[in-house]
Amino acid sequence: MLKAVQFGAGNIGRGFTAQLFTESGYEVVFVDIADPVVGLINNKKSYPIEIVGDGAETVTIKNIRAVNSKDIDSVASEIQNAPIVCTAVGVNVLKFIAPAIAAGIKLRAEGGVESPLNIIICENLLHASDILKGYILAELPDSLKDYVDSHVGFVESVVSRMVPVMTEEDRKKDPLRVVVEAYKTLPVDKKGFVGPIPEIAGFSPYDNFEGYVERKLFTHNLGHASAAYLGYLKGYHYIYQAVADPEIRDRVNHVLGETGKALIQKWGFTPEEHQAHIDDLLKRFANAALGDTVARVGRDPIRKLGPNDRIIGGAKLAASYGIEPQNTCLVAAAALLYDNPEDDAAVKVQSIIRDAGVLGVLEGICGLDPKGALASEIEAQFNKLKSA
């Protein structure tokens, strides 16, 4: 049986990629730092994925094992004879798993393994392949650089399956169970593979992969954030409640129309294809069975208001193609009004607004020229929303 070494036994590792690998005939070896999770996987040897909404069913994931990421020798030996490694650990953890991956590559090189190793990177990070490769090369002697270049693929992906945070009560019932939506397509960078692209369920290799990265950020992520921040202003608790509101749904559609026109011009998506993608996303956002909350999706407005992130980046993208991003600027204003007291980043934004005004946030966090057109539009929208 083929083997996939899955770094990260969290929601994406257990609730998404492991399903794709097992459906494709792979044994999945999870690598995780949490001893309780490692122990449960090795004791139970299976766990359920509960798919909710359209296509509801329970899928049992079998043929699984786990090793602790601190046991580098064991992890390296698993990688030595595996064609696939996958990461879903969070961007800040990549540097900590690099030594184990490097040790596995070293074993492969020393053992004369000529078959390729492809590393699927499921992280929300631009240029993740270059970053992870850099971490790994830093752990290896220079003599192995050519082996890495010719035998190891670094494959970026776009993770779009929605997996809401499990409640503490749900985790107690079954710590391994994951609740997900039915969507299970994983766009991957065709150019990142070494050797033949493995046939894995859900994998969709693309040549113009960068276009799909931007589409995820400025359609899926921006649409989700728009529903969250506009929903918060109306007092909604769940994302599905916000999307069910005709005014909010219409506004989100207009936001995605602004960035959509730019994405179509930049990457060659057809208008019909892109609108179908938007319609599908709104349908998925409306999945009440996911129980996704406004607070979870809106969490950390500082990051989401970053100069190149979904909201400000989306507004700049639209403007760069001659499209006035009025609706996207409205969402930015709504994010500035996201005053959730349980969100540390939201509290900090409110503190900056009190001390330096809206322009203080737009310049300091959003990286905008306070005298520029985007800052002026967002400030005007903020004042309008605040007085409504």
Per-residue pLDDT at 287: 95
- One domain, residues 135 and 54: yes
Total number of domains constituting the chain: 2
Structural domain boundaries, residue 150: 2-207
- One domain, residues 60 and 44: yes
- Among the listed residues 95, 51, 50, 102, the one whose alpha carbon sits nearest the alpha carbon of residue 80: 102
- One domain, residues 231 and 342: yes
Q: What six digits make up the tokens of 134? A: 């850099």
- One domain, residues 351 and 260: yes
- One domain, residues 16 and 143: yes
pLDDT tens for the chain, residues 1 to 388: 899 999 999 999 999 999 999 999 999 999 999 999 999 999 999 999 999 988 889 999 999 999 999 999 999 999 999 999 999 999 899 999 999 999 999 999 999 999 999 999 999 887 899 999 999 999 999 999 999 999 999 999 999 999 877 777 877 789 999 999 999 999 999 999 999 999 999 999 999 999 999 999 999 999 999 999 999 999 999 999 999 999 999 999 999 999 999 999 999 999 999 999 999 999 999 999 999 999 999 999 999 999 999 999 999 999 999 999 999 999 999 999 999 999 999 999 999 999 999 999 999 999 999 999 999 999 999 999 999 8
- One domain, residues 222 and 93: no
Q: How far apart are CA 233 and CA 214, in angstroms?
A: 27
- One domain, residues 233 and 195: no
Per-residue pLDDT at 381: 97
DSSP, collapsed to helix, strand or coil, labels residue 80 as: helix
Q: How far apart are CA 21 and CA 11, in angstroms?
A: 15
Report the CATH number at residue 269: 1.10.1040.10
- One domain, residues 146 and 233: no
Edge to edge, the sheet with strand 64-68 lists: 64-68, 26-32, 2-7, 84-87, 117-121, 152-156
Report the CATH number at residue 128: 3.40.50.720
Domain endpoint, select from 207, 233, 255: 207
- One domain, residues 201 and 225: no
Strand runs labelled E in the chain: 2-7, 26-32, 47-51, 57-61, 64-68, 84-87, 117-121, 152-156, 178-180, 186-189, 203-206
Strand partners, 238: 293
Domain endpoint, select from 207, 231, 266: 207
Compute the C-alpha angle 182/180/328, nearest 5°. Answer: 85
Residue with tokens 């129980």: 291
Domain endpoint, select from 154, 182, 207: 207
- One domain, residues 141 and 258: no
